[in-house]
Every structure is written in structure tokens, then in C-alpha cells.
Amino acid sequence: MTGTTSAGSVKPADVPRHTRPANRWTVLVVLCTSLLLVALDATVLHVAVPALTEDLRPGAIELLWIVDAYPLVAASLLILFGTLGDRVGRRRVLLLGYVLFAAASAIAAFAPNAHILIGARALQGVGGAMIMPATLSILRQVFPDRRERAVAIGVWSAVAAVGAAIGPVLGGFLVEHLWWGSVFLINLPALAVLLPLSRWLLPESKGERNGPWDVLGALMAAVGVLGAVLGVKRLGGGAGLLDIGAIAPLLAGVALLVLFVRRQRRREYPLIDIGMFSRPAFSTSVGCIVLAMLALVGLELIAVQYLQLVLGLSPVETGLRLLPLTFAAMAAGLFGSRLLHRFGPRRMVSSGFLLTAAAVLGLTLMGQHDRPCLLTVGFVMLGFGLETTIFGAYESMLSEAPAAQAGGAAAIGETSYQLGAGIGIALLGSVMNAAYGPGVARVPGVPSAAAADAGKSLGEAYEVSGQLGGSAGAALRHAARHAFVHGLHVTLIVSAGLLLLGALAALRLPRVMECGAQAAAAAAPAVPVSASAVPVDLPAQVAVGLYAEKVRT
């Protein structure tokens, strides 16, 4: 095998360039810049949606695909490109991802209609799926020592939080002074620098090359994840349990994933070592990631609607209210390595779950009137607790993965995040709708047909109340606000229960963080882009919830 060992290490000739202390951290800057671009690309779209809607006039379905094409395609291809990088070279896949991402950004910026924009967003998803696992695998190689890698993980996740925070601000500035397409063009100068710099600075590495690459298995995983994520997203968007458009892709996706797992168990040279899930630390960490994202993403989507539709805050004011959550996540990322070394994975992840559950229960004190101090304290606890949880869970999970499976392990982490986020939207959205609907079903003076429309969402209730006018309209508006707050409280309690379940599950994690030579040799890749407690595609989920209603109305 040329250039690598079976564990994915580099040739001695490659060592001087990237293992010197200064160069290691320079590599981290390059990889974090890649992460920043991926994070910004999702967040800037949130503020650009109104402008592009006015210009391109997309229908409701087209608007949803403009928002969802990028995260859906990226999630579905992570395993394919993660394992391909292990085979043909992680830097090679990363550089190709840069090229595709740049080309897609240019096409999206000047898209003349919604269909071309959707295609460009899908192509961005392909590029993003190539960038994410490749950078993480390279990060593992450059930081073989677990303590140093934990510091790098903290910087990495803090950068993700920074991207989520500055994305809407930068996007708003660009849309206000230029046009909506400029939010995509900001990628081009950065990628023009990253491409030659990465080619010169980053080391090439590969995993084991025994046996043929399982092309059919990779396609099964891609289509299976796409169907599963698409199904749960549609359920979270309000589709009923009997809606064939949601159930069919969900069932097909789950079936393909089951067949994929069975195929990997039977193959002599599988894409992903399914045996990793037999290790308690690995499987428990994956479960903790899913539970954490399940509780967080659905909760934040509902919180954004509460801030705008109940408290009447503008999108800018809403973004400012959420900044404490982002900054708390940044702080947790920067201190994560110290916390992990001092307390160990078990106490760190379990304590993070408990802190987040306490924050969620405290937020049940929110009502129909603004309580900024309560919200600030709750969001700070939420951001710090979730980032602590996800940081510890990812580090523990990936430290159990063989170095030769670096790309596949990174893809598993990112895919578990995507599935957890999608399930969270569907589950907590369903809980919210079930608790909200009865509150507007029988309002005096409101016809049953109008009440049924008002029961779909708070935004539609406001529209119906405006059409009714008079005392009936005022009564419906008051009842809808009260019902939404009640539904929010029920959803918070359910979310807290999920978080407490995660705290119990975390008790199966290792008690201490092993940093010996053996642990370093077996250590896994760094934490994926989703390590931040502020998910990269959360603004896209918010756009689905808010701007789709604008299109309908």
C-alpha cells in the first residue's frame, strides 16, 4: 500500500509537513474555514428566502425544496463519500468537494428560476457531503494525540457556533445592500484560497484497501438515508400518518437501511464495520447524539415561532434573542477538552443532559408576555448543556472507531445527527400540534371550518381571525395564543423527558478519558460539523416553518 499504513497513518516523508506544532494548527484553521463555509451557507439562506421568493416566485413545494435540497442531499451522501475517501484518498475527495461547492454556489447565485436554484442547492449538498467526512478524517490524522485532538474538537465546534451566529447577520447585510444571490457568492473567494492551500498543506491518507469498494452498498445507504430523512421531515412539516408522500419514502428508506446493515454483516470487506455498534461506548454515544438532536432541533423551531408569533419580535430581534444560546455553545466548545479530561465522558455527557433538561423545564415558565431574563438564562443553559453533551458523546464515539474507518465513522456521526434532527422535528412537532389543536377547536362564534383551518398552525389562526374580524376574530386570536403557549409547555416537558432518558443512557459511557499510547493509536476522527449545539441546518428548518406559511397566506 503506497503512502499509508493499514491504520491510515502517513509515510515518514509526509510527517514533517503536517506534524510540526505550528503546521498542525494551521491545518486546523484550514479545516475550520471549510466548516465555516458549510455553516454559513445554510444560515445565510434563512434571511435570503423572502428576497428570492419575491424575485423567483416559487410555489410552496418549490420553496420547501429550495430550503431542504441541500441538507437532504448532504445527509444521504455522507456514508458514500466518507467511505470513498477511505478508499481513494480523503484529501482528493475534499478537493473535489471544494470544486463542486464553488460551482454550485456560482450557479445558485445567478439562478434564473426556482428549478435551477433547487438543482444548485442539491449540487451544494453533494459538495458538502464530500467536504465534511474528509476534513474530519484529516483532522484525526493531524492530531493523533487524544488530548490535543480534544482541543481541536473544541475549536472546531466553536467555529460551527460562530458560523450559525454570524450567518444571518452577514446574509442580512448582503441582501440589503446587494441582492439575494450574493449570499452564495461569498463562498467563491474563500474557496479560491482554500483549494491551492489545502492541496499544498493537507496530508493525503487512506484507510484499508483490501477488497473491492461496495458500490451497491453505498447506493443503498444513500437512498435509504434520503428516504428516511425525507419521510421524517415531511411528517414534521405537518403530513399525517396516512400521508403516502411521507410514509412511503420513510418505509422505503428504513427497509433499505436494514438491508444495508445485513449486507455489511455478510461481506468480507464491508463499507462500515457494523461490529463497532457492539461496543457499548460507540452505540451509547450514537444514541445520545440522536436523543440530544431530537430534543434540540424541534424545540428550537418551536421557540423561534414563539418569539415571532406570540411575542411579536422581528426576525432580527429573534436572532438577537438566540445569540446567548450560540455564545454559550461556543464557550462549551472551547472548554470542552478540559471538561472531558477532568470529568470523563460519562459524567460530562450525563451532566450536559441534566443541565439541558433543567433549562427546558425552566422555560415552561414562559407565557404570553415577554420575560427576557428568563429566556436569556434558559438559552444560555440550553446552549452550554447541549454542546457539552454532543461534544462528549462525539468524542467518546469516535475514539472507539478504528483509524482505518475514519471516513465511515465520521459519516455515521453526521448521519445520526441528521436523523435525530429530522425525528425531532417530526416528533416534537406532532406533540405540539396535538396539544395546540384542541384549544382552537371550539371557540364561541367561530365556524367549524374556520376553526379547522386555525388548528393547523398559529400563523393560520391569525389569518383566519383577521378574516372573521369583530369579537369572534379577537376571541380566536386570544384562544390561539393561549393554545400555542400550552402546546409549547407540553412539548418542553416531553423534551425534558427525552433529555433525562439520555442522561440515564450516558451512564454506560467510559468513566475516564484514556489518553495513553494505546488510546491515541486507536483514536478516531474529530467531531463532525454537527458537533455544535446550534445545528447547521436549523435555519433551514426555521425557514420551512415560517416562510412556507407566508407562501400559503
Determine, yes or no, domain membership for 401: yes
For residue 172, being part of any structural domain is answered with: yes
Residues 46 and 138 in one domain: yes
The answer to whether residue 362 scores a pLDDT higher than 80 is yes
Statement: residue 55 has pLDDT above 70? yes
More confident residue, 130 or 204: 130
Q: Look at residue 399 and tell me whether its pLDDT is greater than 80.
A: no
Is 138 among the domain residues?
A: yes
Domain's final residue, options 235, 253, 270: 270
- Same structural domain for residues 348 and 400? yes
C-alpha cell at 510: 467510559
122 plus 107 within the same structural domain:
yes
547 confidence band (pLDDT: 50, 70, 90): very low
pLDDT tops 60 at residue 9: no
Q: Do 248 and 391 lie in a common domain? A: no
Average pLDDT of the chain is: 75
Q: How remote is the C-alpha of 317 from its chain's centroid?
A: 23
pLDDT of 8 higher than 50: no
Average pLDDT of the residues in 530-534: 37
Predicted local confidence at residue 358, as pLDDT: 92
- The whole-angstrom separation of Cα 319 and Cα 331 is 18
Number of CB atoms found within 10 A of residue 131's CB: 27
Helix (H) or strand (E) holding 17: helix 15-19
Question: In terms of domains, do 377 and 460 share one?
Answer: yes
Q: Inform me whether the pLDDT recorded for 195 exceeds 80.
A: yes
Judge whether 391 lies within some domain. yes
Q: How far apart are CA 542 and CA 530, in angstroms?
A: 17
Please state the domain count of the chain: 2
The 10s digit of each residue's pLDDT in 450-482 is 878 777 777 778 888 887 777 878 888 888 888
User: Would the pTM of this model clear 0.85, i.e. be above it?
Assistant: no
Helical H segments across 363-469, by residue range = 372-399, 406-436, 448-454, 458-468
Predicted pLDDT at 418? 67
> Residue 543's pLDDT is what?
37
Q: What is the mean pLDDT of residues 261-273?
A: 78
The domain boundary residue, chosen from 223, 240, 270: 270
CA dihedral 285, 289, 290, 292 (to 10 degrees): 130
In a domain, 494, yes or no: yes
C-beta separation of 439 from 461 below 8 A: no
Which of 167-171, 299-303, 404-408, 432-436 has the highest average model confidence (pLDDT)? 432-436
Let me know if residue 435 belongs to a domain: yes
> Domain of 366: which CATH number?
1.20.1250.20
Q: Is the pLDDT of residue 168 over 70?
A: no
| Residue 172: predicted pLDDT | 67
- Give Cβ neighbours of residue 75 (< 8 Å, ≥ 6 apart): 129, 225, 226, 229, 414, 415, 418, 419
Whether 188 shows a pLDDT value over 50: the answer reads: yes
What residue numbers bound the domain in which 171 lies? 12-213+271-552
Distance (Å, whole) CA 108 – CA 49: 13
Q: Which residues contact 324 (CB under 8 A, 6 or more apart)?
A: 376, 379, 380, 383
Nearest residue to 173 (alpha-carbon basis) of 275, 279, 44, 72 = 44
- For residues 511 and 297, the model is more confident at 511
| Comparison of pLDDT for 401 and 12, the residue scoring more | 401
My answer on whether 399 and 498 are in the same domain is yes
Domain match, 374 and 281 both:
yes
Rounded CA-CA distance 73/66 in Å is 12
Question: Do both 361 and 483 map to the same domain?
Answer: yes
**Encoded amino acid at 105, one letter:** S
How far apart CA 90 and CA 82 sit, in angstroms, is 8
Domain match, 233 and 136 both: no
Nearest alpha carbon to residue 384 among 321, 333, 437, 439: 333
As a whole number, mean pLDDT of residues 191-198 equals 87
What pLDDT score was predicted for residue 242? 63
Specify the range with the lowest mean pLDDT, choosing from 106-120, 162-176, 497-511: 162-176
Strand-pairing partners, residue 10, are: 4
**Residue 94 to residue 96: CA distance in whole angstroms:** 5
For residue 7, being part of any structural domain is answered with no
Phi, psi at 4, each rounded to 5°: -140, 165
pLDDT at residue 5, as a whole number: 39
Report pLDDT for 113: 87
Report pLDDT for 210.
Answer: 61
d(CA 379, CA 303): 10
Give me the pLDDT at residue 209, please: 59
Whether residue 305 is predicted with pLDDT greater than 70 in this model: the reply is yes
- Using alpha carbons, select from 198, 251, 236, 292 the residue that is nearest to residue 422: 236
Q: Are residues 327 and 404 in the same domain?
A: yes
User: Given 270, 293, 308, which residue is the final one in a domain?
Assistant: 270
- For residue 294, is it within any domain? yes
Least confident residue range of 45-49, 85-89, 126-130, 379-383? 45-49
Indicate if 385 and 460 belong to the same structural domain.
yes
The pLDDT of residue 533 is above 50? no
Sole residue written with cell 440550553: 382
Same-domain status, 37 and 51: yes
311-358: pLDDT as tens digits:
887 766 777 787 888 788 878 877 777 888 788 888 889 999 999 999
